[in-house]
A = this chain, B = another copy of it.
Amino acid sequence: MVDRRGAGDEVVTTAAAKRSADAPAESAADVRERARAIPEAAVARLAVYLRVLSGMAEQGVTTISSEELAGAAGVNSAKLRKDLSYVGSYGTRGVGYDVEVLVSHIERILGLTRKHSVAVVGIGNLGHALANYGGFPSRGFPVAALFDIDPDLTGVPVGGIPVNHIDDITSVCAEREVSIGVIATPPQAAQAVCDRLVSAGVQCILNFAPVVLQVPDYVEVRKVDLAVEMQILSFHVARRADEAAGDVVNGVGVDGVVIRP
């Protein structure tokens, strides 16, 4: 059952909340150690929990159980509890989790207490959409710089930010303290752009171009490859079609192609 006491109820009474308010029971070293051990898959889920929890908080929910949160996030409740245990033990047995407390601790672990300025490179179809997207700034990722190689674009404001020329990438990134670079250029230009971002000091890259980027060890790359996503869906369609065809006359494979004539 969701607790809807309302957002006005500010009296904190749970033991867990008290603990976190009074004296943190763990050292900075402990936090470090734990952060290092969190599996990547769990980090991705924590980000989802955070979004769900933020929505809950807005609706005035103050307390939530692992079962409820798991349902809302679409995962197993045991997995959720294990994920939260990487963050620390901030639940109250017999009750659940204080939404606000959980939000602030997940934010801390994900490093969202500091702002991460984003630069988008390649202001074409996709770059425009990204520059105009309100979902980044609102989550602590202000878009601070835009770059393109097209001289017709430089100076033109997109989403309120004027486009800079790619040649100015080093100085502009340094000046605006860009920590995340987004590559939305054609695939042929992606590796070169990536190299320039890296030499400009950017250590985190989100890549939309369908190429495998080569980067030094200390740079973190995440790729969003829509064609790959489509192909994974396609695989499932095919598998399903195969299963359905499993009962028909043998010797005929996928798509009706005769495999054994």
Q: So how many copies of this chain end up in the complex?
A: 2
Of the listed stretches A47-55, A57-65, A93-101, chain B binds A47-55
Q: Which residues of chain B have C-beta atoms less than 8 A from A140's C-beta?
A: 234
Q: Which residues of chain B have C-beta atoms less than 8 A from A214's C-beta?
A: 74
Complex CA–CA separation, A234 to B109 (angstroms):
10
Task: Say whether chain A's binding surface is mostly helix, strand, loop, or mixed.
Answer: helix
Q: Flag if A222 contacts B231 (CB, 8 Å).
A: no
Complex CA–CA separation, A174 to B257 (angstroms):
24
Asked if A72 is an interface residue, CB under 8 A from chain B, the answer is yes
Q: Which residues of chain B have C-beta atoms less than 8 A from A44's C-beta?
A: 228, 232
Q: Smallest CB–CB gap between A210 and chain B, Å? A: 6
- Residues of A bordering B, CB below 8 Å: 24, 26-29, 31-32, 35-36, 38, 40, 43-44, 47-48, 50-52, 72-74, 108-114, 116, 118, 125-126, 128-130, 132-133, 135-136, 139-141, 179-180, 203-206, 210, 212, 214, 218, 220, 222, 224-243, 245-246, 250-255, 257, 259-260
